């Protein structure tokens, strides 16, 4: 079932056409990977979906209903949560405090620390996250744990679609494993996941469907199970497209 659908979405910055008629479907309980070379338009696309930038043309539908996303607040309200690459966590605060930052639970004038901690523990458990102590400072956590915290934070608003921007980019093997497990856990919980990644083996492992962008356009959509790494790389670089080679 299609949850979020983009049709012919375009976006230009001044004279640069960053996106030119890009279409993309994300179903519930589906992991869609978005791959492409630098400058292919991946970042622009997620910025359009998450409301950081407004699209110039095309349409976005959620559950078949057309929606307008003008600001990050709009996206949030529609149930689209984005975890950007720089995570945006406060190193000097605990895991609990980071999760609830900006939407703290209070009882009277004071923080309801206990309730927040309790719900965090529950969430951490349900996601199978490996965070030893939810009261530990985020600055003392490993890269994978920090990524997990950022993802958990996005889940607090009960989103239906989660966009992950390069979640494994700076991580080691073990930490990457941690995050990929979490991505699969999100799918099990029925969420639609849009995963932006440069790492083909990660993408082939967790994604159901892979969407390749090239120079701001759709270059192909593949079912992960039937696709090889070589095909993907060729599509990303444009090596197998006769038009790309024979154009000039």
Partner 1 sequence: MSTVIQDVKRHAKSGDLGALPVLIGLVLIWTVFTLLNHRFISPDNLSNLALQMAPVGTMSLGIVLVLLLGEIDLSAGSVSGLCGAILAVVHVRHGLHPLIGIAAALAAAGVIGGLQGTIIERLRIPSFVVTLSGLIGWQGLQLWTLGKQGTINLSFTGSIAKLSGTYLHPLLGFALAVVIPLGVAFVAITDQRRRTGRGLPVPTQSAIFAKPLIIGVVTVGLALLLNASQGVPLTLVIFTLLVIAVDWVLIRTRFGRHVYATGGGIEAARRAGVNVSRIRTYVFIASSMLAAAGGILAVSRLAAVNQSTGGSDTLLNAIAAAVIGGTSLFGGRGRAYSALLGSLVIVSIANGMFLLSLDSSVRFMITGAVLLSAVVVDSFTRRGQTVRR
Q: In this complex, which beta carbon is closest to partner 1, that of residue 44 or of residue 147? A: 147
Question: Taking the CA of residue 67 as centre, how many other CA atoms within 13 Å lie in the half-sphere pointing to its CB?
Answer: 24
Q: Is 239 in the site for partner 1 (CB under 8 A)?
A: no
Q: In this complex, which beta carbon is closest to partner 1, that of residue 88 or of residue 223? A: 88
**3-state DSSP assignment of residue 225:** helix
Q: Which of residues 26, 31, 81, 97 is near partner 1 by CB under 8 A?
A: 97
Q: In this complex, which beta carbon is closest to partner 1, that of residue 121 or of residue 184? A: 121
What is the phi/psi pair of residue 98, to 5°?
-70, -40
CA distances to 26, 160, 183, 188, 191 from 29, rounded to whole Å, are 9, 9, 11, 6, 5
Q: Is 142 in the site for partner 1 (CB under 8 A)?
A: yes
- Residues near 16 by beta carbon (within 8 Å), at least 6 away in sequence: none
Q: C-beta of 117: minimal distance to partner 1 in Å?
A: 6
Q: Is 88 in the site for partner 1 (CB under 8 A)?
A: yes
Q: Which of residues 29, 111, 233, 234 is near partner 1 by CB under 8 A?
A: 111
Q: Which of residues 93, 204, 224, 233 is near partner 1 by CB under 8 A?
A: 93
Q: Number of residues interacting with partner 1: please give it, by CB under 8 A.
A: 30
Q: In this complex, which beta carbon is closest to partner 1, that of residue 114 or of residue 239? A: 114
Contacts (CB under 8 A) with partner 1, residues 13-52? none
Per-position DSSP letters for 159-174, written without gaps between them: -SEEEEESTTTT--HH
Q: Is 139 in the site for partner 1 (CB under 8 A)?
A: yes
The DSSP symbol for 137 reads B
**Closest by CA position to 75, among listed 147, 17, 157, 133:** 157
Q: In this complex, which beta carbon is closest to partner 1, that of residue 153 or of residue 214? A: 153
Q: Is 140 in the site for partner 1 (CB under 8 A)?
A: yes
Q: C-beta of 89: minimal distance to partner 1 in Å?
A: 6
Contacts (CB under 8 A) with partner 1, residues 119-138? 121, 136-137
- Residues 97/45, Cβ–Cβ less than 8 Å: no
CA distances to 5, 195, 209, 237 from 33, rounded to whole Å, are 14, 5, 6, 17
Q: Is 157 in the site for partner 1 (CB under 8 A)?
A: no
Burial class for 156, CB neighbours closer than 10 Å (0-12, 13-18, 19+): middle
Q: C-beta of 149: minimal distance to partner 1 in Å?
A: 11
Write out the residues near partner 1 by the rule CB under 8 A: 86-93, 97-98, 101-104, 106, 109-111, 113-114, 117-118, 121, 136-137, 139-140, 142-143, 146
């Amino acid at each position: 079932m299609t949850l979020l659908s983009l049709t012919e979405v375009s976006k230009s910055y001044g004279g640069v056409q960053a996106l030119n008629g890009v279409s993309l479907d994300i179903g519930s309980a589906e992991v869609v990977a978005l791959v492409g070379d630098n400058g292919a338009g991946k970042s622009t696309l997620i910025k359009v979906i998450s409301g950081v930038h407004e699209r110039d043309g095309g349409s976005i539908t959620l559950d078949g209903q057309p929606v307008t996303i003008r600001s990050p607040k709009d996206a949030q309200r529609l149930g689209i949560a984005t975890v950007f690459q720089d995570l945006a966590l406060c190193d000097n605060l605990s895991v609990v405090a980071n999760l609830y930052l900006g939407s703290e639970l209070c009882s009277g004038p004071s923080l309801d620390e206990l309730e927040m901690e309790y719900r965090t523990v529950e969430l951490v458990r349900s996601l199978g996250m490996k965070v030893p102590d939810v009261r530990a400072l985020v600055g003392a956590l490993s890269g994978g744990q920090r990524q997990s915290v950022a993802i958990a934070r996005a889940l607090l608003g009960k989103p239906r679609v989660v966009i992950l921007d390069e979640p494994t980019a700076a991580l080691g093997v073990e930490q990457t494993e941690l995050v990929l497990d979490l991505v699969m856990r999100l799918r099990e919980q029925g969420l639609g996941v849009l995963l932006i990644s440069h790492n083909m083996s990660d993408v082939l492992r967790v994604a159901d469907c892979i969407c390749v962008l090239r120079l701001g356009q759709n270059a192909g959509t593949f079912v992960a199970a039937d696709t090889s790494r070589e095909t993907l790389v060729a599509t990303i670089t444009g090596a197998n497209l006769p038009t790309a080679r024979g154009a000039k």
